[in-house]
Structure 1
């Protein structure tokens, strides 16, 4: 157990977690009678500060959206805070253009006009490119159009390859923007994006910190 004292940070935490798992197994199988890891405490790491993206970083992501597929992927991440897996898993029946609704990750949401235009452009391309495909997923590639599986993970994330405004950063920025605009209300954020309470509270705390910092910063003369 002395090895834990030679480690710091994430390595120490991972080692302790692995040791605990090993000791539980040994105790369950009768190889030991006392778990020496029970008294070990892992210090809780403070949450990373959530900061908004700079406008230039977002502009570069928008400029990179040169195809209907990339424009739709960016809209889903930047407007609806959709994770890459949620984007990949979207199906045609998740889109209700008539009622201006979209279901992302099982969570129904209003369909804004910008995303609606991106959807219409992509659906038009999809129909002309793969008119006979039976794949029920919204996004397609040449490979997935011949099957029923979603597009690959890298295909989606490559939409903003090399940019600071990755899909994950765009998703985080959208949720932060919501609490900065509507106020640090975790319940509203959880309801709107379908995130868990702990994550919603973290965004609310980040918004309070940013709003307080902005209020305390004197305006330039």
Structure 2
């Protein structure tokens, strides 16, 4: 008996009590779906919206993202301070970013263009975007290419990314809850901290395949 036969035999024995996938009124596999328990936990524990935002901030910081809190009316001044502290002379903003967010920023604006090359994007000092949803339990930001987030490449090439999250509206507890809000046909980018990798000696190197610095602004009141 070959290894293949041995493995397939084990699979058949494991599925012996499961109805045929073709069974069901329409032969659509509904019997199989009914036989498999889909009652997975969608989140762990019960948290208030405020506790969920606090957990997000904690996990973002644990991933070495720099976290800021502000009210909506404070955002333009905060973004101006963050970009000035970075020494950013150029800032890339997606076309759908609310114009007033960058009204106090003293830097040259770079448009999000399909024709931009990686070398051109690499010369951009900073990029500012919104987000689609943020996952508290994993400290993850998800971008889906919407107008306030732009093309995927603009958040993967420049060295400094500032992402604004509207709280509590854009924050969910868990990945399953986040998936329920997302369109799987869109270009999804999942970000958990700045880009980093480690070699065999566990020396951490940041900025390998994305921004070296990730700053997250948790904005309330909009």
Query: Normalising to structure 2: TM-score of the pair?
Result: 0.28
Query: Normalising to structure 1: TM-score of the pair?
Result: 0.28
Larger helix share, 1 or 2: 1
Larger strand share, 1 or 2: 2
